[in-house]
Structure 1
């Protein structure tokens, strides 16, 4: 049975802090889509992972949450932010001054590349002061919070605040950037590839710290990455993007143990894992489409081993495949049998990638 994404979101999310409704981003006078009709509800205090290949629309989704799509992109649809149960803010209707308050104070973002996010001529403390002053916050109180946040991230505040960015390692810069993004006490933290330039040990360390920060500060987190198994150990739910739209959404444990979309299964089979023999690893064949050349029907059909005439001519809706788990595929049941996972029997990982 096909049901709309709005209905699916309502059934999955009891207390949404953000709801995206039919959000699209276009360029070239509306002819090129880099985000295509995305609807997604984000539960208050959850960690949701947004996953997909480079160029799938993940970063554009993040920018849309803050109405920060770079010109000349055109953003349409609705982004609702609910700071509490009685108030709803339509983000795309805010004036510039209201948007400046929303960003950092309510919804904060950690952009890609910590090493390029700091002014190399300023000490770290100056970055905190500049942010606090720009939002008319009490600097002394804000710096006290900065000390606490840096300690939470296992950094020495006095050393970090007195340093220039180049005097910090990549992992220290990334953790400092997370502290800076939280200094104004936002409710939502959006992170775009926050661990991409870090080694595996530092990646795992950052994930553990993020889990602790979520618990201590009641944060909602949107974690954007190309690495599905990495974020699966952190997230409550995972959303997989392909060709600028959502193709699968569900609980993290089930998305690892029993993914339904052929693309999700291909992503997992292409990822190094101790349980998968090297000979069984398979790259995802072909290339993801460019915005000006998205295939008709199911956008994944040129790369899919299960494609049929129906896939080539009709666009699959998001269907329910299990409680709280949806996928945009006409043949998701066949995918689970005809595209076996190479790392374990389904259910063997219990939501943990080993």
Structure 2
């Protein structure tokens, strides 16, 4: 492992990691195009990690890599280790297909974008639960009892939902039913890829509140992937920021909001709609994120960065420690904190911590 990767790993180390990724990369075109580039990341057991970035930054590919579910002909390399509660470590990339299928629902489960497309429209919701339980040789009676409890936890009427077809439920109800389905086998880790993207703001907030409650009740570890930094900030313990298929910054949520070190992270915060800031202070990020086949030399963010120097254009920045547990891949993180003031008003509350409150219509 390179010195840069070692610094990145050390900055994001966890005391009890449930997932450990070392130098994980995904390439296409016989290695010519990177859609995930050397990501090292440890996910702490029991935490909620928010992964944020613009569309096309590699967030969804990172989620797929965690489950060794990269679409062909993508090539996944590096090391991805799952650590069970008893300390047993399993290299996910070394598993046979049958072992991988079991792990994906029993140990690590995923909620994909677009709940409606995740359900068979010709099958009632009950059938999806039964099919999942049977496929993993789980006890059907006990599993359906857990399903009913999960649906109730998500403020849904179990009888109504289980006896409905997907199209008979609202978007928010369908998304919550999918979350319940993903948890029916009691996995250790739940990975959610833009799970609220198609929902209105009120429903998004309600689901985050409910996820906070599920985390406490079932001792879950969660990875929440989104382009909406303020949305996940109310839920996550830590935030990781991706740009151009790399992890560019990671820190505790409060520190990221108050003291982000990477110019891109600060630009993300300043582009966030904010009722407390004047309209003229809103700062859209100039330019656009690069495509895999046209990555800039040096730091990939340099064409959009107001602090870019010749060094940025020529060299890939290493991972610099801003504070303990807070790392940023930027040569000029100290200048960024001084020269790019934040207009984002911190509105973090404890609404997601308790899981209180009902969601939309039953």
Q: Offset of 1:96 from its aligned partner?
A: 0.4
Q: Offset of 1:343 from its aligned partner?
A: 2.9
Unaligned stretches of 5+ in structure 2? 352-362
Q: Which residue of 2 aligns with 1:4?
A: 7
Q: Which residue of 1 aligns with 2:261?
A: 260
Q: Offset of 1:138 from its aligned partner?
A: 1.2
Unaligned stretches of 5+ in structure 1? none
Give the 3-state SS of the residue equivalent to 2:222 in structure 1. strand
Partners of 2:326 and 2:211 lie apart in 1 by 25
Q: Does the alignment pair 1:303 with 2:314?
A: no
Partners of 1:353 and 1:339 lie apart in 2 by 28
| TM-score for both structures, normalised by structure 2 | 0.94
Deviations, residues 282-305 of structure 1 (Å, cap 9, x unaligned): 111101000011111111000000
Q: Is this contact kept in 1: 2:53–2:227, CA < 8 A? A: yes
Partners of 2:87 and 2:292 lie apart in 1 by 39
| TM-score for both structures, normalised by structure 1 | 0.96
Q: Offset of 1:324 from its aligned partner?
A: 1.1
> May I ask how many residue pairs the two structures share in their alignment?
348
Deviations, residues 63-95 of structure 1 (Å, cap 9, x unaligned): 000000000000000000001243000000000
Give the RMSD, CA atoms, in angstroms. Answer: 1.5
Stretches of 4+ aligned residues off by more than 2 angstroms: 349-354
Partners of 2:77 and 2:300 lie apart in 1 by 21
Q: How does 1:1-354 map to 2 (within 5 A)?
A: 4-10=7-13, 13-344=14-345, 349=346, 351-352=348-349
Q: Is this contact kept in 2: 1:56–1:288, CA < 8 A? A: yes
Q: Is this contact kept in 2: 1:257–1:350, CA < 8 A? A: no
Partners of 2:280 and 2:9 lie apart in 1 by 41
Partners of 2:350 and 2:287 lie apart in 1 by 26
Q: Is this contact kept in 1: 2:190–2:220, CA < 8 A? A: yes
Q: Is this contact kept in 1: 2:12–2:327, CA < 8 A? A: no
Q: Is this contact kept in 1: 2:12–2:250, CA < 8 A? A: no
